[in-house]
Amino acid sequence: MPKFQAPLLLPTVIIAIVTFGITTLIGNLAFFSLIELKGLDLLFTLRGSLPASSQIVIVAIDESSMVEIKQQWPWLRSLHAQLIRQLHQAGAKVIGIDILFSEPSDPAEDQALTDALQEVGNTVLVSALALENDPLYRYTLRIDPLPVFRNVAAVGNPLIRIDADGIVRRTRILAPDMPSFALQIVRRYLENPAVTHKTTPGFQRFSQKDLLKDLLINYPGPPKTVKTVSYYQALNYARLLPPGTFSGKIVLIGRSLEAIPEPQRLSGDTFLTPFSWISQQPAAGVEIQANIISNLLEGRFVTELSQPMQSLLLVLLTSIASLTLIRLRPLTGLIVTLILAGLFFATALLIFSQASIWLPVISGILALILVYGGHLLARVQRVEQDRRRLLEDLNRDLESKITERTQELSLIHQELSQRHQQLETAYQELTRTQEQLIQSEKMASLGLLVAGVAHELNNPTSYIHSNLEFIEEYAENLASIIKVYSESGHFSDQVDRPNAAYVESLLQTLRELISSCKEGTERIKKIVLDLRVFSRTDDLGLMAADLHDGLESTLSLLAKEYQNRITVHRDYGNLPRVECYPGQINQVFMNLLQNAAQAIPGRGEVWIKTETEAEATQVSIHIQDNGIGISESNLARIFDPFFTTKPIGSGTGLGLSISYGIIERHGGKMLVKSKINEGTTLTIELPVRHL
């Protein structure tokens, strides 16, 4: 086997891939799909006629029957009733009537037909679908036989599909709301005890999924291929037809071409088939239904390759053709391409004739033509490349000198650009560091101020709280003295004896005032304690801290912002004490909880969850809100310095950046998850021991 050179093999692969893509793209166009269907018609024609099913007989309503019966259409329904009884008496297993009895006639006539249908019990009537077009809407109307007929016979719809070129190639056996006319007939035929499945092995191969999709009808030949007798002959079958004509058969009753005025205009129940372009005749609807029934019984619908299989076939075809043409000259390549096209067409015809499998003939031939055209273009391109290469060789000396000089200038320019970039990066880093330092100094100063205020408030508050204890004790003593004097009656004449109820009311008011003052001092002491816990200016270094205390003190300081607006849900785990800088960690808590509150425009909820792993070497703090959330485009930038989504003047964009830096310096991580209008979850992971 010859070895292909890489410079030739690569264009060959590219040509095969591009050809496959173009063929697939064109194959999905509506006009090309119609051309591909014409290729199917050509396969039918070249295959020729097949023997028609011996299990089906058509009783045709034709011109000779109209002459013999001497009635104009439509005929009396009692005549149809007579035919049904005659066919049943002749041994017909199933009788399918392709005549739409949707309008009432003479009651006696309708009753005669009803009695015959009920008496025979093995009939199937046809329904129809009518398309109604209105300027405002379009809908499909289902037209069924009269209820009296539906009650005594099965009903099915033809369910055929007319392609854009007017040819009936596909049918559907089962629709979600109705079975087809053919399926109803086959079911009743197979339900007959006299019918064995050995005579109908093909029907067992169809699954429910197969019956619900469009199937390609395998026409055995042009119109009149299925055995057909005239209506008047069936009425007198014993005298006019050979014995056993209807015995054990499926009998279909319907109008034939001769009984339909102007058949060339396809009026009435007539349709074009793949054989019509040769025979110049359309087929009656009843004959198309006979072909569908035959396909169902024998399991010989035309198999259409699935899209993946068609793609695989095109890949193989284009690959073989491209590898074959890789070294051939244009004229030889054209001859080989024509030979490959002929072989492919012959193979497709053989497979269609033997296995009823439809290969995309037109797509395959188009792919071969495109492969040949691609190799022509590739050859032209190679010639052009050789010409350009020659010109390049002639000017190579001059270009090499220019290239060397250009490279020198490029290196100098690149070096200058790198230095400029380094300076720009250093300047930006210096600016960020300066802003972070200023922010850190502000926070440190604020911490010192808070600690100082807390200290100054703590001393007088302690004095007041202690004095209130003495005032309460002295007030109780004074109340006892007043009570004793009031009971003893030792009052001068100038002093009225006090009313006992009035005295008790004054004492109660005094007690309430003292209690209120004590409660106020307790509240001041708690605020001072929270301020001291939050600021932690007394940190001399790393210390083991209770993170729950830091969270609670931060929530206390945010009480005004959270009160009556945000509900806080606490889910605290059993955390060990964490070695950290408590003041810095509290600063992070303050930033995250404040951001959560600001992300909730109205009322909302905040969830705080703490947990630790089994080894207790790391703790996690999750702060979740149900606010407006962060967009996907901003999610990756929220920890960048100076990045903020708040209006100008409402934020510096340094809060999350500083918090991120604090957690990193503690050896931890900060993670974020968010969805628009669903909220944000920020997770802090800290090691229990600072590394």
Q: What pLDDT, on a 0 to 100 scale, did the predictor assign at position 405?
A: 81
Provide mean pLDDT across the span 269-285. Answer: 85
Provide mean pLDDT across the span 38-49. Answer: 90
Q: Categorize the per-residue pLDDT at 137 as very low, low, confident or very high, splitting at 50, 70 and 90.
A: low
Provide mean pLDDT across the span 4-30. Answer: 79
Residues 319 and 443 grouped into a single domain: no
What is d(CA 415, CA 70) in angstroms, rounded to the nearest whole number? 107
> Between 134 and 198, whose confidence is greater?
134
Strand segments, DSSP code E, in 217-318 are 228-230, 250-255, 270-271, 283-284, 303-304
Residue 235 lies in a domain: yes
Q: Categorize the per-residue pLDDT at 266 as very low, low, confident or very high, splitting at 50, 70 and 90.
A: very low
What is d(CA 175, CA 158) in angstroms, rounded to the nearest whole number? 11
Q: Give tens-digit pLDDT for 557-598.
A: 888 778 788 999 999 999 999 999 888 888 889 889 988 888
How many Cβ atoms are within 10 Å of 91's Cβ, its own excluded? Answer: 14
> Between 650 and 676, whose confidence is greater?
676
Residues 612 and 671 grouped into a single domain: yes
Residues 140 and 268 grouped into a single domain: yes
What is d(CA 53, CA 227) in angstroms, rounded to the nearest whole number? 8
Spatial neighbors of 594 by CB under 8 A, at least 6 apart, are 558, 561
Provide mean pLDDT across the span 274-280. Answer: 84
Provide the 3-class DSSP secondary structure of residue 655.
Answer: helix
Confirm if 183 and 210 have CB atoms less than 8 A apart: no
What is d(CA 490, CA 115) in angstroms, rounded to the nearest whole number? 126
Residue 508 has pLDDT above 60, yes or no: yes
Give the pTM.
0.54
Q: Give tens-digit pLDDT for 84-131.
A: 999 999 999 999 999 989 899 999 999 999 999 999 989 999 998 776
CATH at 571: 3.30.565.10
Q: Give tens-digit pLDDT for 47-65.
A: 988 888 889 999 999 888 8
Provide mean pLDDT across the span 41-47. Answer: 91
Mean model confidence pLDDT for the chain: 81
Provide mean pLDDT across the span 243-253. Answer: 92
Work out whether the CA dihedral 582, 585, 590, 593 comes out positive or negative.
negative
- Of the candidate ranges 92-96, 253-257, 500-504, the one whose mean pLDDT is the lowest: 500-504
Q: What pLDDT, on a 0 to 100 scale, did the predictor assign at position 205?
A: 55
Q: Categorize the per-residue pLDDT at 265 as very low, low, confident or very high, splitting at 50, 70 and 90.
A: very low
Residues 460 and 473 grouped into a single domain: yes
Residues 295 and 348 grouped into a single domain: no
Residues 674 and 631 grouped into a single domain: yes
What is d(CA 671, CA 682) in angstroms, rounded to the nearest whole number? 6
Q: Give tens-digit pLDDT for 172-185.
A: 888 877 888 999 99
Provide mean pLDDT across the span 439-453. Answer: 56
Strand segments, DSSP code E, in 52-167 are 56-61, 94-97, 123-126, 128-133, 138-143, 154-156, 160-162
Residue 145 has pLDDT above 80, yes or no: yes
Q: Give tens-digit pLDDT for 219-240.
A: 999 888 899 999 999 999 989 9
Q: What pLDDT, on a 0 to 100 scale, did the predictor assign at position 540?
A: 53
Residues 525 and 553 grouped into a single domain: no
Q: Give tens-digit pLDDT for 408-432.
A: 888 888 888 888 888 887 777 777 6
Residue 333 has pLDDT above 50, yes or no: yes
What is d(CA 81, CA 148) in angstroms, rounded to the nearest whole number? 14
Kind of pairing, strands 283-284 and 303-304? unpaired
Residues 139 and 262 grouped into a single domain: yes
In degrees and rounded to multiples of 5, residue 339 shows phi and psi of -65, -45
Q: Categorize the per-residue pLDDT at 403 as very low, low, confident or very high, splitting at 50, 70 and 90.
A: confident
Single out the residue of 170, 212, 183, 173 nearest to residue 124, CA to CA: 183
Of the three residues 504, 535, 566, the one that is the final residue of a domain is 535
Single out the residue of 353, 385, 375, 348 nearest to residue 364, CA to CA: 348
What is d(CA 484, CA 480) in angstroms, rounded to the nearest whole number? 6
Single out the residue of 123, 300, 92, 295 nearest to residue 195, CA to CA: 92
Q: What pLDDT, on a 0 to 100 scale, did the predictor assign at position 578?
A: 92
* Token duo for residue 307: 């899209």
Single out the residue of 557, 558, 550 nearest to residue 533, CA to CA: 550
Residues 553 and 528 grouped into a single domain: no
What is d(CA 453, CA 169) in angstroms, rounded to the nearest whole number? 93
Residues in the chain: 691
Kind of pairing, strands 618-625 and 604-612? antiparallel
Residues 26 and 77 grouped into a single domain: no
Residue 670 lies in a domain: yes
Confirm if 226 and 252 have CB atoms less than 8 A apart: no
Residue 241 has pLDDT above 50, yes or no: yes
Q: What pLDDT, on a 0 to 100 scale, did the predictor assign at position 398?
A: 77
Q: What pLDDT, on a 0 to 100 scale, did the predictor assign at position 264?
A: 41
Q: What pLDDT, on a 0 to 100 scale, did the predictor assign at position 2?
A: 42
Confirm if 320 and 255 have CB atoms less than 8 A apart: no
Residues 482 and 583 grouped into a single domain: no
Residue 397 lies in a domain: no
Confirm if 587 and 444 have CB atoms less than 8 A apart: no
Kind of pairing, strands 679-687 and 578-580? unpaired
3-state SS string for 512-530: HHHHHHHHHHHHHHHHHHH
Q: What pLDDT, on a 0 to 100 scale, did the predictor assign at position 259?
A: 41
How many Cβ atoms are within 10 Å of 537's Cβ, its own excluded? Answer: 15
Residue 96 lies in a domain: yes
Q: Categorize the per-residue pLDDT at 637 as very low, low, confident or very high, splitting at 50, 70 and 90.
A: confident
What is d(CA 237, CA 476) in angstroms, rounded to the nearest whole number? 129
- Of the candidate ranges 336-345, 492-501, 679-688, the one whose mean pLDDT is the lowest: 492-501
In degrees and rounded to multiples of 5, residue 235 shows phi and psi of -65, -30
Provide mean pLDDT across the span 371-392. Answer: 84
Residue 406 lies in a domain: no
Q: What pLDDT, on a 0 to 100 scale, did the predictor assign at position 391?
A: 81
Residues 97 and 228 grouped into a single domain: yes
Of the three residues 236, 268, 301, the one that is the final residue of a domain is 301
Provide the 3-class DSSP secondary structure of residue 1.
Answer: coil
Domain that holds residue 578: 543-687
Residue 514 has pLDDT above 80, yes or no: no
What is d(CA 636, CA 127) in angstroms, rounded to the nearest whole number? 63
To which residue do tokens 């591009």 refer?
18
Q: Find which of 37-51, 407-421, 529-543 is predicted with most confidence, using mean pLDDT.
A: 37-51
Q: Give tens-digit pLDDT for 148-175.
A: 999 999 999 988 888 888 899 999 888 8
Residue 1 lies in a domain: no
Q: What pLDDT, on a 0 to 100 scale, did the predictor assign at position 168?
A: 92
Of the three residues 301, 328, 346, the one that is the final residue of a domain is 301
Residue 372 lies in a domain: yes
Provide mean pLDDT across the span 398-402. Answer: 80
Q: Categorize the per-residue pLDDT at 1 as very low, low, confident or very high, splitting at 50, 70 and 90.
A: very low
Residue 528 lies in a domain: yes
What percentage of the chain exceeds 90 in pLDDT?
30
Q: How far is CA 310 from CA 16, 39, 45, 115, 363, in A?
A: 15, 15, 23, 53, 9
The total number of structural domains in the chain stands at 4
